[in-house]
Structure 1
Amino acid sequence: MTSHPQADRDRFTAETRQFRRELLAHCYRMAGSAQDAEDLVQETYLRAWRAYAGFERRSSVRSWLYKIATNVCLTALEPRSIHVLPSGLSGPCDAVDRPPNLLGPGEVSWLEPIPEAWLTPTADDPAAVVIARESLRLALIAGLQHLPARQRAILVLREVLAFSAAETAEILDTTTAAVKSGLQRARSRLNDLDPNRETLLEPTDPRARALLDGYIAAFEHSDARMLEQVLRADATLEATPFADWQSGRRSCIHMLATYVLGAPGDWRMLPTTANGHPAAVVYRRCTDGSLRPDGVVVLIATPTGVSRVLKFHDPALVTTFGFPAAIRGG
């Protein structure tokens, strides 16, 4: 039979491209890094194309791709340290009158946020959007990183993606008994890490937007008092790449007022959404008057206020979230 490479390529693309977004979400849940997830999806599609001619269709194309993607992730994760948040390293800082402890490059692999625009289902299905957000909350992604890689895969495949125990066993080349046992252990570990899951506001909820607007206004006006209207009394504040983090509204505001807020106009924030949470890309004013990327801040918004502030000091995230690399005259 004559081979038609371009026809094969077109058929492969038509059958597989619809799964790219969900595979990106899967790889992100496994790796905890948006950049790593992109690389892992690229490797998945490369391996899938190489194996396409031998695909016997005993499973769906979707299951076949997830098998490849999961094994790509497991192989990649073996030699790597997990991605964490500062709260995953130690307890809150009890020395409020010292600058936060800055860790050097490479000392820790930090968890990264991911733009919701990369992952939101394209179908006009509000329920699907909510489910996608819930499975990408930062607390869940952070908790997953503390599971052994295969337990992480089992939990994601079973509870997020709704594969059956038998399908999960086939994807992981193991037994259904091993899948059931791994799922039980993963659930138990996640519950130990986050036993008191709280009610969160959807980022489209007007209350969440009001909290985000209040946080942005506090920074742009350099007014620490405005933060009192935003943060809960038990709020926490953490920022990568700093090891120290604060617990309690008073400590959070003291840290921000003393070391961060600066003068009015020093900061500019533009609203966005990350991991199903209200967020903002952050710019800081330079000596030439331009506003340069500083990172992304994510707010964990609840009906009673912001319970967690997570700042990711990585200027590259600003363009990852689709915003300009600099703002002049802002």
Structure 2
Amino acid sequence: MHTMAEAGSDFGTLSEPFRRELLAYCYRMLGSVHEAEEVVQDVFLDAWRAYDRFEGRSSLRTWLYRITARACFKALERGRRRPLPADLGAPESDPQARLVERTPEIPWLQPIPDFLFAAAPIDPATVVVERQTMRLALVGALQQLPPRQRAVLILRDVLQWRTAEVAELLEMTTAAVNSALQRARAQVPLSEDNLTEPVEPQQRALLDRYAKAFETADVDQLVAVLTEDARWEMPPIATWFEGRDTIVAFLARQTRTIGPAKLVAISANGQPAFAVYARDQDGTYQPHALHVLTITPNGITRIVAFHGATLFPLFGL
């Protein structure tokens, strides 16, 4: 018979390898890094307390996922879905339109630093899949699904669990799992989100030109790297723009949004990103926004610029 201390020590050693993947699951479910971290912390505490009753009928991983799934459902009962600006309405066609900021009670989808979910690369193919299934657009689309459909889609199509395993985990029938999966796939087709990225030298060149455009307030550089149908979003501002010409016209009249600035390369949601520091009137650089970029061989197709300094500490900035 284990003592409480021995059980706790065993639990810590055996459960720690699952922490990153459970955080990734919670983030996909909740759309918030802060909420995901809180849930995982509570899950590990609850699991540690109940570990002496764990009978080993399922694997420890399955047992932890069962506790985590319940905790996410509970969190979603009191929370509201987290959108991106493009989820709320049509783009603004007038680059000189007044910007609309949503009320504070509407929470926005948050980006997640890669170092929080990306494990040490073992299989390159697995790493690619992991990055693709954490993309900002995909996590945003997941937030539109009812919680149970969201959980089924993540477990079946992202984590590749079998139908019977998902049914047992979520306390559903296999028929209910298949039905929920069919409805979820119709709304969020994961197969269509396998974005083709440019080869490394081309991607590096695009990112360098993007950074230079903002650091030197060079609008022409920005024109050169954006695709014709590019999107520009700025949570917590609900107004967003679509189309290279509209975006450039908007940015050209923004004194703080485009340069002079300093950009620090980071990575979020498996995508290239930048921390943007804008220069104040007294010449000092202050945290301004985090830009998460979607890049294709044709150029940069989407920029989500998370305005404000609140997310900077999350990225160790």
Aligned partners of 2:239 and 2:156: how far apart in 1? 35
- CA change 1:125–1:29 in 2 (3 A) is same
Aligned partners of 1:37 and 1:146: how far apart in 2? 17
Aligned partners of 2:200 and 2:211: how far apart in 1? 17
| Aligned residues of 1:30 and 1:149 also touching (Cα < 8 A) | yes
- Deviation track 1:21-44 (CA, whole Å, cap 9, x = no partner) reads 001100000001111111111111
- Deviation track 1:276-299 (CA, whole Å, cap 9, x = no partner) reads 111011212234433222231011
Matches within 5 A, 1:233-252: 233-252=228-247
Q: Look up the equivalent residue of 2:203 and give its one-letter code.
A: A
| Aligned residues of 1:208 and 1:278 also touching (Cα < 8 A) | no
Q: Look up the equivalent residue of 1:68 and give its one-letter code.
A: I
The question of 1:73 aligning with 2:69 is answered no
Matches within 5 A, 1:156-235: 156-191=154-189, 197=193, 199-201=195-197, 205-235=200-230
Residue of structure 2 equivalent to 1:257: 252
Aligned partners of 1:58 and 1:65: how far apart in 2? 13
**Structure 1 unmatched ranges of 5 or more:** 324-330
| Aligned residues of 1:239 and 1:311 also touching (Cα < 8 A) | yes
Residue of structure 2 equivalent to 1:318: 312
| Aligned residues of 1:271 and 1:279 also touching (Cα < 8 A) | yes
Q: Look up the equivalent residue of 1:258 and give its one-letter code.
A: R
Aligned partners of 1:262 and 1:119: how far apart in 2? 30
**Equivalent of 2:280 in 270, 286, 289:** 286
Residue of structure 1 equivalent to 2:143: 145
Percent identity of paired positions between Structure 1 and Structure 2: 42
- CA change 1:197–1:54 in 2 (3 A) is closer
| Aligned residues of 2:279 and 2:285 also touching (Cα < 8 A) | yes
Aligned partners of 2:51 and 2:282: how far apart in 1? 54
Matches within 5 A, 1:102-141: 102-106=101-105, 108-141=106-139
Aligned partners of 1:225 and 1:182: how far apart in 2? 47
Deviation, 1:55, is 0.7
Which secondary structure does the structure 2 equivalent of 1:259 belong to? coil
Aligned partners of 2:315 and 2:207: how far apart in 1? 17
Report the aligned-residue RMSD.
1.8
TM-score where L is the length of structure 2: 0.95
The question of 1:308 aligning with 2:302 is answered yes
Deviation, 1:118, is 1.1
| Aligned residues of 2:213 and 2:222 also touching (Cα < 8 A) | yes
| Aligned residues of 2:256 and 2:278 also touching (Cα < 8 A) | no
| Aligned residues of 1:121 and 1:128 also touching (Cα < 8 A) | no
Deviation, 1:195, is 9.5
Residue of structure 2 equivalent to 1:60: 59
| Aligned residues of 2:138 and 2:193 also touching (Cα < 8 A) | no
Which secondary structure does the structure 2 equivalent of 1:163 belong to? coil
Aligned partners of 1:87 and 1:195: how far apart in 2? 21
| Aligned residues of 1:201 and 1:302 also touching (Cα < 8 A) | yes
Deviation, 1:197, is 4.3
Deviation, 1:156, is 0.3
| Aligned residues of 1:82 and 1:146 also touching (Cα < 8 A) | yes
| Aligned residues of 1:283 and 1:291 also touching (Cα < 8 A) | yes
| Aligned residues of 1:294 and 1:313 also touching (Cα < 8 A) | yes
Aligned partners of 2:225 and 2:283: how far apart in 1? 29
| Aligned residues of 1:268 and 1:291 also touching (Cα < 8 A) | yes
